[in-house]
């Protein structure tokens, strides 16, 4: 009996420790996303506006008469400032696209698909339910980050030509899948930090990630995330959380 009680005590401690670790992981992910949101806003609003002002001043100075050789230097300054504005904008969007917060998941995914096609030539085909915008913030962030990681992997490592992204909302869950026609890999031996990060994000929200791939046959990454019904959440907690929907 003493051994059974000691075993039960240790099992309970292990359960509490695992719960604490999961809670800490969730807090770290939220803190990271909040930091990215702040940095992206600062880059766009502060640095971006300052660079735009430099562009305007360079244009005004170059248009003035009497500068002679200085005009060429001003035009060079303008070209450099314009290049930097574009780089800052892209960096801010990569940190966290403002449209994910301002307009929702589907517009952000559409933007990412267009940007990847423009930058890499990869054909990204997106099919997403508009109802996917009616999701808790954690779910939208998770799906966006997983799609971002999977599409980037397809472009950088798999030499894929086409990536199909599907997001479908159901009554109590959201399902998504990213499939490419790239080189594939052996899932028994390849488990990089990107894939581990995907699994952790999905597990934290009570879902399960499935990765199917083999050399020469492309890769499919899919998951189903449960979505707690708002009415049920209110019944359990006695109040609604402002970020929960559906």
More confident residue, 159 or 177: 177
pLDDT above 90: percentage of residues in the chain: 22
Statement: residue 232 has pLDDT above 60: no
pLDDT value at 130 more than 60: yes
Residues of the chain with pLDDT > 70, as a percent, come to 82
Range with the poorest average pLDDT among 3-12, 191-200, 217-226: 191-200
Give me the pLDDT at residue 193, please: 58
How far is the C-alpha of 93 from the C-alpha of 208, rounded, in Å?
28
- Span of 50-59, 216-225, 229-238 with lowest mean pLDDT: 229-238
What sign does the dihedral 50-52-55-56 (CA atoms) show? negative
3-class secondary structure, 68: coil
Cβ neighbours around 182 below 10 Å, total? 22
For residue 20, the model assigns a pLDDT of: 66
User: Residue 150 CB: number of other CB atoms within 10 A?
Assistant: 26
Which of 242, 207, 244 has its CA nearest to residue 226? 207
Token match 């086409």: residue? 162
**Nearest to 169, CA basis, from 135, 126, 138:** 135
Residue 175 CA, distance from chain mean position? 16
Query: What is the arithmetic mean of pLDDT over 148-173?
Result: 90
CA distance 37 to 5: 48
**Average pLDDT estimate for 167-178:** 92
Tens-digit pLDDT profile for residues 60-115: 777 766 666 677 777 788 888 888 877 777 777 677 777 788 888 999 999 889 98
Block residue for tokens 């030539």 = 121
If pLDDT is split at 50, 70 and 90, which confidence band does 177 have?
Answer: very high
CA dist., res. 246 & res. 242, Å (int): 12
Q: How far apart are CA 104 and CA 133, in angstroms?
A: 5
């Amino acid at each position: 009996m003493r051994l059974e009680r000691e075993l039960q005590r240790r099992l309970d401690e292990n359960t509490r420790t695992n719960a604490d670790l999961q809670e800490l992981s969730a807090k770290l992910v939220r803190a990271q996303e909040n930091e990215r949101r702040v940095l992206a806003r600062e880059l766009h609003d502060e640095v971006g506006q300052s660079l735009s002002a430099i562009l305007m001043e360079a244009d005004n100075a170059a248009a003035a008469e009497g500068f002679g050789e200085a005009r060429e230097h001003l035009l060079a300054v303008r070209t450099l400032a314009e290049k930097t504005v574009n780089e800052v904008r892209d960096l801010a969007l990569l940190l966290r696209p403002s449209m994910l917060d301002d307009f929702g998941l589907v517009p952000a995914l559409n933007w990412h698909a267009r940007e990847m096609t423009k930058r890499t030539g990869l054909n990204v085909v997106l099919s997403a339910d508009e109802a996917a915008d009616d999701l808790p913030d954690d779910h939208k962030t998770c799906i966006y980050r997983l799609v971002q990681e999977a599409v980037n992997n397809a472009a950088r490592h798999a030499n894929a030509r086409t990536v199909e992204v599907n997001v479908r909302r159901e009554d109590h869950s959201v399902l998504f899948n990213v499939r490419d026609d790239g080189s594939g890999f052996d899932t028994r031996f390849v488990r990089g930090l990107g894939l581990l990060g995907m699994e952790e994000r999905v597990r934290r929200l009570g879902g399960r990630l499935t990765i199917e791939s083999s050399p020469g046959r492309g890769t499919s990454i899919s998951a189903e995330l449960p979505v707690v019904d708002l009415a049920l959440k209110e019944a359990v907690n006695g109040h609604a959380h402002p970020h929960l929907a559906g």
